[in-house]
A and B are shown apart, each in its own frame.
Chain A
Amino acid sequence: KNQVEQSPQSLIILEGKNCTLQCNYTVSPFSNLRWYKQDTGRGPVSLTIMTFSENTKSNGRYTATLDADTKQSSLHITASQLSDSASYICVVSDMEYGNKLVFGAGTILRVKS
C-alpha cells in the first residue's frame, strides 16, 4: 500500500475557479510535508514545505493545510489559471528512514478556458 495517497487522480476545472486537492498519508513519524508542481516533461517544483507543527502555509494562489492528527493535507488553488495545468504531488519526509522523501502519485489538474 502506498504510504501517500492522493485524490482525485485527475481533475478538470474552468479557468478562474478554485479547487482543492487531497493527500492522506501513513508515514509516521514525519518531519515535513511538501507539495510540488510538476509540468509535463519537467522536474517537480516546490510549492510549500510544512513541518508537523504547522497547520497552513501559502505561496501566492496556493494554500496548503496540514492536520497531523488525521494525517491529511490539502492544497487549495484559488482563481485558477491555464498555467496551473500540471501534476500536483504530495511528498512526506519519513523521519524513521533518514528523512527520505515518500512521493504520492500526484493529481493531474487540467484548467480549461
Chain B
Amino acid sequence: NAGVMQNPRHLVRRRGQEARLRCSPMKGHSHVYWYRQLPEEGLKFMVYLQKENIIDESGMPKERFSAEFPKEGPSILRIQQVVRGDSAAYFCASSNGQGNRPQHFGDGTRLSIL
C-alpha cells in the first residue's frame, strides 16, 4: 500500500495518559499535515511539518500537544496528559509540495479518552 499510513486506527486512553499517533507519508512526500476532526465538524488544521522542521504549528494547542517529523521514520503527533476533550479523529496528510499540490490523507486515528 503506497498511501498514507496511520496507526493505530483506534486508540483508547485514560485521562492523564499520553497518546502517540503515527503517520507514514506517501513515498516521495516530504510534507506532512495533521488535522483534527470532531463529530459533525470539518477538519481543523493543526500543524504542518517538513522533514525535521515544523513549518506552521498555529493550529496546535500550545500545551500538551507536540509534533515531529524526524529524518528517519514516521511523523508523530504526541498528546500528553490527555483530557476528554481530546477525543476526536486525527488525520494525517502528505504532499510533495505546497500550493496547488493535492494532499493525500490517511484513514485517521480515532482517539477515545475514558
A residues lining the B interface (CB < 8 Å): 2, 4, 31-32, 34, 36, 41-46, 49, 51, 89, 93, 97-106
Q: Given contacts A99-B99, A100-B56, A101-B45, are A43 and B40 in contact (CB under 8 A)?
A: no
A4, A31, A36, A102: which contacts B99 (Cβ < 8 A)? A31
B4, B58, B103, B106: which contacts A101 (Cβ < 8 A)? B103
- Return B83 CB to nearest CB of chain A, in Å: 24
- Return A49 CB to nearest CB of chain B, in Å: 6
Tell me whether B43 and A44 are in contact (CB under 8 A): yes
A41 to B6, CA, bound (A): 13
A106 to B102, CA, bound (A): 18
Tell me whether A32 and B105 are in contact (CB under 8 A): no
A46, A89, A100, A105: which contacts B40 (Cβ < 8 A)? A105
- Return A66 CB to nearest CB of chain B, in Å: 13
B residues lining the A interface (CB < 8 Å): 4, 6, 33, 35, 40-45, 48, 55-56, 58-59, 91, 93, 98-100, 102-108
Q: Is the interface of B mostly helix, strand, loop or mixed?
A: loop
Chain A residues with CB under 8 A of B98: 98-99
- Return A88 CB to nearest CB of chain B, in Å: 12
Tell me whether A4 and B42 are in contact (CB under 8 A): yes
Tell me whether B42 and A41 are in contact (CB under 8 A): no
Residue among A43, A97, A99 with the most chain B CB within 10 A?
Answer: A43
Interchain residue pairs A-B with the least CB separation, the first 8: A43-B105, A103-B42, A103-B43, A105-B42, A46-B102, A43-B107, A44-B105, A32-B100
A42, A49, A97: which contacts B102 (Cβ < 8 A)? A49
Q: Given contacts A4-B42, A101-B45, A103-B44, are A43 and B99 in contact (CB under 8 A)?
A: no
- Return A30 CB to nearest CB of chain B, in Å: 11
